[in-house]
Structure 1
Amino acid sequence: MALPLRAIMAFHATARTGSMIQASQAIGVTPSAISQQIQILENHVGTRLFSRESRNVVLTEAGARYFDMIHDEVEKIELATEHLRGHNSISVLNVRISPSFATKCVIPRITEFLASYPNIELRINATNELPDYSRENIDLEIRHGEGYWSGVYSEKLIDERMIPLCSPGFLDECSLSRFEVKDYALIYSVKNVKQWKDWFKVAGIDIDKPLKRTLFDRAYMSIETAVNGGGLAFESHVIAAREISEGTLICPVKDNPEIWQSSLWIACPESHLSRHKVQSFIVWIKSLLKDL
């Protein structure tokens, strides 16, 4: 029996996008044609590849295994075809990055990556949501957290020094004793691994009154608020590197204790490490961080 190539392409597009409608738009056929092709492929292989849940389609266990086996090869076929049509050989790299790291560190330097790897089409998805690699087309993550997640390869990128920071118009550099910090407005990034409570503990300070707090779920919001004179932020020297180097954020605490966190990680299935585009991004991101 001949290999149903049209059906395989319909399956690949649906598994990659998670939607028959999006797959139909990518291939240029109707959603019903996508559904028919998937049924042809399921009949050909003798098993269900998707389960239908309302308007969504979800890969079955067999479908996830099949997608993982053919994904790279289908991408090679697409790239080879485009190359013969006279286009450059472009490899698409899908990277998921935490929003603050993407905003503060990656995007300002992204032209360096694009210049170094002109044959990679980079697609960045800025979210903290963990991907389902069995159904989402994600090559690699820069994941925020405490590390060592089950089911994926993880590698620490950098240790981050956590520092009290504020605008030089709010306080002068090294003008404040650690015991005075609790008297000022404090800015919290609630998703940071280390928090103000950790700073107070290491500093040996008991909190004997309510603190004046402003809380954000994104570090870049905390940094922007601190730059604008909104109080003292407790932030990573990596995420706030530009503001620190430009002098728009300074450390006002003259006897500041050292606190470090390890919360930026490379994460992906081990099988993805063999992809040249993934290794290219890993090399670049490590180079970007090495001097911080």
Structure 2
Amino acid sequence: MHLPPLRSIGVFYQLGRLNSVSKAAEYLGVTPSAISQQIRTLEEQLGTTLVRKVGREVRLTETGERYFEMIAENIEHIWEATRQITGARTTELLNIRATPSISTKWLLPRLPGFIAENSGLDIRLDGSNEPVDFTRDNVDIEIRHGEGRWTGMHVQPLAQEMFVPVCSPKLAAAGSLDLADLQAMRLIHSVKSQLQWSAWFSAQSLPVDGNWQKIYFDRSHMAVDAAVSGMGVALESLLMMQAELESGALVVPIANAPSFMLTTQWLVCPPHHLRRARVKRFINWIDREARLWLESCVEIQKKI
């Protein structure tokens, strides 16, 4: 059989990557009808249906999904080779949304590594607590805070986290307090955290005292910074404060402190976004970084 025109294959790849005729047309600088014509040519050549309409949108058929997966990596290699030969710079953009806390405390310090591995990719990091509406927002993937229950989405845990009480060593030395001593101290509350002080005390069979001295923050990174400054004792995840514990800016004031293990941060996107090479590269990279982070936490956990 004759091979399909490479132009048609390239058009199909862009359509599958962007999941939109109009976006593929805009990206390639052609009309939507030209996109449709190239897809028809490819389907006739292959003798199968690759794309179907769902309302006003298009979706790849099962055969189309399989074909896309088989060609995607090779197309990416062709683009990269062309870029290197011509010295041209790609304009592909990866849009990430993440909460301000995970962005500031965990993602940003590691992002240079991803940039170094993906020099042909522009990155936009949107630090927001507002969940993405993927039907409206131009976002490829989100690191979302919550319980991981989002129907119809690809949901992947970032890492299991350890929650422990922490404070500045100026406020209390490491291991110097008993559990009951905490209730006499000012407790820093991260109001959107999935683990609150009341649940932590209840799990230790200690009374929940509504008359605690309190200070409230609606961002975990603010709660961590408040603890570093000596405002009180925070109950936070190692994911948000590894650097502060390693530097000694924060300590765990309870000897053999009880800890909670939770997963609160999730990689979230529509399943069809996984066809985007830039999304797959980001997921593979961040999964590797999360594993390295867990390994680096072992020594800290031994001291708690």
Identify whether the pair has TM-score above 0.5, normalized to the shorter chain: yes
* Alpha-carbon offset, residue 255 of structure 1: 3.8
- CA deviation after TM superposition for structure 1 residue 208, in Å: 4.2
Alignment deviations for residues 233-277 of structure 1 (CA, whole Å, 9 cap, x no partner): 000011111111111111001142121211111110011112111
Residue 223, structure 1, aligned to residue 224, structure 2? yes
Q: Distance in 2 between matches of 1:165 and 1:267?
A: 30
- Provide the residue aligned with 2:71 in structure 1: none
The equivalences for 1:126-145 within 5 A come to: 126-145=127-146
Give the distance between the partners of 1:233 and 1:122, measured in 2 at CA.
33
The residue aligned with 2:174 is 173
- Report the CA distance shift for 1:88/1:209 in structure 2 as closer, same or farther (over 3 A): closer
Which residue pairs with 1:150 in the alignment?
151
Distance in 2 separating the partners of 1:10 and 1:62: 13
CA distance in 2, matches of 1:67, 1:12: 13
Distance 1:103 1:253, change over 3 A: same
Preserved CA contact (<8 Å) 1:190 1:217: yes
Residue in structure 2 matched with residue 96 of structure 1 by the alignment: 97
1:1-292 equivalences in 2 (<5 Å): 12=23, 62-63=55-56, 65=57, 87-208=88-209, 210-290=211-291, 291-292=293-294
> 2:86, 2:60 → 1: CA distance?
27
Alignment-mate amino acid for residue 238 of structure 2: H
Kept in 2, the 8 Å contact 1:178–1:255? The answer is: no
Moved more, 109-118 or 86-95: 86-95
Normalised by the size of structure 1, how large is the TM-score? 0.72
Q: CA deviation at 1:282?
A: 1.0
Q: Percent identity?
A: 32
**1:100-156 C-alpha deviation (Å, 9 max, x unpaired):** 000011112211111111111111111121112112111101111000211211011
Name the SS of the counterpart of 1:119 in structure 2: coil
The separation in 1 between residues aligned to 2:126 and 2:59, in whole angstroms, is: 21
Structure-2 separation of matches of 1:85 and 1:145? 45
AA of the residue aligned to 1:235: E
Write the deviation string for residues 197-256 of structure 1: whole angstroms up to 9, x where unpaired.
111011110034501111111000001100000000000011111111111111001142
On the 8 A contact 2:96/2:141 being kept in 1, the answer is yes
CA distance in 2, matches of 1:112, 1:166: 30
Structure 1, unmatched stretches of 5+, are 1-8, 17-26, 28-39, 46-60
3-state SS, counterpart of residue 240 of structure 1: helix
Amino acid in the other structure paired with 2:108 = I
Q: Residue 95 and residue 280 in structure 1: after superposition, are their counterparts in 2 closer, same or farther (change >3 A)? A: same
Contact between 2:183 and 2:209, CA under 8 Å: does it hold in 1? Answer: no
Indicate the SS of the match to 1:224: helix
Shift of 1:86: 5.7
- Do the aligned residues in 1 keep the contact of 2:167 with 2:250 (CA within 8 Å)? yes
CA 88–163 in structure 1, closer or farther in 2 if over 3 Å, else same: same
